Amino acid sequence: MKRVFLETYGCQMNVADSELMAGVLERAGLSLVDRPEDADAVLLNTCAIREHAEQRVLGRLGEFARLKARRPELVVGVTGCMAQHLRSRLLDHARVLDLVVGPDGYRDLPALLARAAREPVAEVRPDRDETYGDLEPRREPGVRAWVTVQRGCDRFCTYCVVPFTRGRERSRPLADLLREVRHAVEAGFREVVLLGQTVNSWHDDDHDFAGLLRAADAVEGLLRTRFTSPHPGDMSDRLIAALAECAKVCPHVHLPLQSASDPVLERMSRGYTLAQYHEVAAKLRAAIPGVALSTDIIVGFPGETADDFARTVAYLREARFDSAFLFKYSARPDTRAWRWPETVPEEEKGRRLAQLIELQHAISGELNDRWIGREVEVLVEGPARRDPGQLYGRTPQFKAVVFPNDGTPAGRLRRLRVAGATPVTLFGEAAEKNSAGAPLVHIG
């Protein structure tokens, strides 16, 4: 067993976990390869948040089954949330599988892989003490480093599988996190994204999330700090003050709402009313001038009436989020809502989703148009995906900006004037001030 192909699905926490696994594998002498055809083992690091996410993985496993038919010695494994969610049921269902490892089993991955070459292996015991605090990830090169500060979730929103796949909430110690941030900066990363399912409930003895942000702000060489996802219920005044005062913390908050109807929020067990959510959003806007807000919404939750949905439409219009991730409710086994009859037919969910997408698209477009003519500071990430002749970066508000390739290296800050916009992208041109592409040393 020498070469491993690792493919990642799901949220940023899974991306960070894949980097953790990559570190564990490489320290054990294994190497990662870019193509499954070149691998002795293929691992899918999976997501279970919606049924669709699991179906994609099952489809991919079908492809690996064909590869394995030609090369029976190939080890096929599933890690992550779907592994934990389906546990040994996965081994029964998908006969192609040799290995199933839940999110708390990555430390022993090399040994598990070796065993799986001889017999089917499932390691899905939850370990409420495992935070991988001491393990150095092998990060994908880039300007942005993901740092998991908290694992698991204790909130048990009634639709959500995460508390069952990732177990109880655990915070990683402050000292480990600061060491990881410093290492990332030494390795050339310029931005860190602090990750947790309710990231703002992170704590270590007397230190709270506000303290963590302030400590990260003091790390020399770091340009920007982001975090995701905060829970509205944990957005204290202390934290809002820290967001406003920390120079490196970007003016962008992703604040999942889920629904703007109080009865729906109540049944979701979200722990806030619309009025309470709105108060948090208003405080953020008052404390952080120009802050960008984004959100998550679920349509078609059991019992969501036309009137409940109308409230969400009205609030989306009022709140004017910069962007929103919009989802159709997907019933997940193990959750409380799984037992509740679905009351919104699939076509109606589709209609509601389409209506929100159209509305949000228009709002994002209007908000992006307002940037035209203004100057922005972009952290350059590299060539634009669709057109390598152009460069690509993000503003502090997390707006993607595409601009002519003037040779600015990735990791530099570049001041640009916004010349055009779509609902998802800004188009930049050189601003006179630093037309030579001189790096700026601070961010405003």
The one of ligand SF4, ligand SAH, ligand F3S, none whose footprint includes residue 163, by CB under 5 to 8 A per kind, is ligand SF4
Please, are residues 185 and 221 in contact by the beta-carbon 8 Å criterion?
A: yes
What is the Cα gyration radius of the chain?
Answer: 22
| Beta pairing class for 144-148 and 191-195 | parallel
Nearer residue to ligand F3S within complex by CB, 297 or 379: 297
- x-or-dash string of contact with ligand SF4, 134-163, rule CB under 6 A: -------------------x-xxx--x-xx
For residue 296, give every residue at least 6 positions away whose Cβ sits within 8 Å of its Cβ, in sequence order, or none.
Answer: 229, 254, 256, 257, 258, 324, 325, 326, 327
The one of ligand SAH, ligand F3S, ligand SF4, none whose footprint includes residue 296, by CB under 5 to 8 A per kind, is ligand SAH
Count residues near ligand F3S (CB under 6 A): 13
As measured in angstroms, the least distance from the Cβ of 327 to ligand SAH is 4
Residue 158 DSSP SS3:
coil
Q: Looking at 7-15, 56-64, 117-125, 277-285, which segment touches ligand F3S (CB under 6 A)?
A: 7-15
Q: Is 257 in the site for ligand SF4 (CB under 6 A)?
A: no
As measured in angstroms, the least distance from the Cβ of 437 to ligand F3S is 38
Q: Which of 4, 6, 11, 326 binds ligand F3S (CB under 6 A)?
A: 11
Please, are residues 367 and 320 in contact by the beta-carbon 8 Å criterion?
A: yes
Nearer residue to ligand SAH within complex by CB, 227 or 427: 227
Residue 213 vs residues 120, 206, 239, 241, 246: alpha-carbon distances, Å? 43, 14, 9, 11, 7
Q: Is 229 in the site for ligand F3S (CB under 6 A)?
A: no
Does the N-terminal peptide bond of residue 261 adopt cis geometry, omega within 30 degrees of 0?
A: no
Please, are residues 113 and 99 in contact by the beta-carbon 8 Å criterion?
A: yes
Nearer residue to ligand SAH within complex by CB, 364 or 395: 364
Nearest residue to ligand F3S by CB is 10
The one of ligand SF4, ligand F3S, ligand SAH, none whose footprint includes residue 50, by CB under 5 to 8 A per kind, is ligand SAH
Q: Which of 18, 46, 171, 198 binds ligand SF4 (CB under 6 A)?
A: 198
Nearer residue to ligand SF4 within complex by CB, 105 or 230: 230
Q: Is 13 in the site for ligand F3S (CB under 6 A)?
A: yes
Q: Is 162 in the site for ligand F3S (CB under 6 A)?
A: yes
As measured in angstroms, the least distance from the Cβ of 295 to ligand SAH is 8
Q: Where are the alpha helices (DSSP H) in 28-135?
A: 51-70, 81-86, 88-93, 109-116
Nearer residue to ligand SAH within complex by CB, 21 or 49: 49
Q: Where are the alpha helices (DSSP H) in 74-208?
A: 81-86, 88-93, 109-116, 162-166, 174-186
Q: Looking at 6-14, 60-68, 131-139, 428-436, which segment touches ligand F3S (CB under 6 A)?
A: 6-14
The one of ligand SAH, ligand SF4, ligand F3S, none whose footprint includes residue 13, by CB under 5 to 8 A per kind, is ligand F3S
3 CB-contact burial (10 Å; exposed 0-12 / middle 13-18 / buried 19+)? middle
Q: Kind and range of the H or E element at 375?
A: strand 375-383
Give the span between the Cα atoms of 97 and 189, in whole angstroms.
Answer: 36
- x-or-dash string of contact with ligand SF4, 217-256, rule CB under 6 A: --------------x-------------------------
Of 383, 387, 326, nearest to 357 (Cα)? 326
Of 106, 156, 90, nearest to 332 (Cα)? 156
The one of ligand SF4, ligand F3S, ligand SAH, none whose footprint includes residue 151, by CB under 5 to 8 A per kind, is none
Nearer residue to ligand F3S within complex by CB, 256 or 300: 256
Residues near ligand SAH (CB under 6 A): 49-50, 159-160, 197-198, 229, 231, 256, 258, 296, 298, 327, 329-330, 332
Please, are residues 326 and 267 in contact by the beta-carbon 8 Å criterion?
A: no
Q: Which of 48, 122, 143, 299 binds ligand F3S (CB under 6 A)?
A: 48
Please, are residues 26 and 32 in contact by the beta-carbon 8 Å criterion?
A: yes
Q: Is 21 in the site for ligand SF4 (CB under 6 A)?
A: no
For residue 265, give every residue at least 6 positions away whose Cβ sits within 8 Å of its Cβ, in sequence order, or none.
Answer: 258, 259, 272, 273, 274
b/e map 425-436, b = 16+ CB within 10 Å: bbbbebbeeeee
Tokens representing 443?
A: 């961010």
As measured in angstroms, the least distance from the Cβ of 179 to ligand F3S is 24
Q: Looking at 31-39, 157-165, 263-271, 370-378, which segment touches ligand F3S (CB under 6 A)?
A: 157-165
User: What φ, ψ does residue 360 adopt, rounded to 5°?
Assistant: -65, -35
List contacts with ligand SF4 (CB under 6 A). Answer: 153, 155-157, 160, 162-163, 197-198, 231
